[in-house]
Amino acid sequence: MADEVRAVFVFDRDHDALVFRSLEHAAGYMEAIEVEEGEYVALFTETGVIVNATTTAERVVLTVTGERDEADLRARLRDHQRRMRTPEPITDPVAFASDYLRREREWEWAHRWPRWPAWLDRRLHGEHPPKA
């Protein structure tokens, strides 16, 4: 098992898939009440290792279990693909996570606020969104 988690897949009751850069980002997004109510039904690392979600003092705690179920991860990604009607089959969880996170960065870049005059925006933020 790799020491470094490069992506965390979170699946909710509605079969939606979310991808985060780290356990810390995922835990920061998730709400303790939702974890306690079972909103998140499955969590995996990019290699299919199961992640356990618990709460402590109204904080979400994510723990890598060491148990691997890559087949379940891939099945949930295929289900997500069918529901989203994406034309490309999801065959590689790591590639899917990279693409998801890239699109998220690009969206955040395009929708940042406040919007400065173009010359000032380029000086403050550069010409392109930051790389991962």
Cis peptide before 89 (omega within 30 of 0): no
Q: Quick one: what percent of the chain has pLDDT higher than 70?
A: 92
Q: How sure is the predictor about 122, in pLDDT bands with cuts at 50, 70 and 90?
A: confident
Instruction: Tell me how far CA of residue 122 lies from CA of 57, 93, 117, 125, 130, in angstroms.
Output: 43, 34, 9, 5, 13
Find, among 73, 87, 82, 97, the residue nearest to 18 by Cα.
Answer: 97
Given this model, what pLDDT does residue 100 score?
Answer: 83
pLDDT of 54-91, one tens digit each?
Answer: 999 999 999 999 899 999 999 999 888 888 777 776 77
Given this model, what pLDDT does residue 2 score?
Answer: 43
Token readout for 111 is: 């929708």
Given this model, what pLDDT does residue 121 score?
Answer: 74
CA distance 39 to 127: 39
pLDDT of 29-58, one tens digit each?
Answer: 999 999 999 999 999 999 999 999 999 999
